[in-house]
Amino acid sequence: MTEPEQVHGHDPADSVLCATAVPAEYTAMNRQKKLQQLFKAKAKKASAKLAPKNRNTYVSKADRLKLAQVNELENVVAASPTSEFI
């Protein structure tokens, strides 16, 4: 084997000049970088779930109308004269 082996019809010397040829160290670093990105994203989502919510919960329009009616009834009952003289 004095000549370099050809893999899939390509000469190994050509891969050195190829712009898409990436050394093994870079692919390992890219893989680790991607894993770190995924880990950070999961950690960020988990901490966001544990963080206190700044917004109030949504109350539907029907529920708001019901609450308004209950408040009106309470105001009417509170404003009505009481029977102190009986």
* pLDDT tens track for 16-48: 555 567 677 777 789 999 999 999 999 999 999
pLDDT of residue 2: 56
Mean pLDDT of the chain: 79
81: helix, strand or coil: coil
Look up the pTM and report it.
0.36
Residue burial 51-72, b: 16+ Cβ < 10 Å; e: rest:
eeeeeeeeeeeeeeeeeeeeee
Question: Which residue type, as a one-letter code, is found at position 20?
Answer: T
Angle (CA) 22 26 29, round 5°: 155
Could you count the other beta carbons within 10 Å of the beta carbon of residue 4?
A: 9
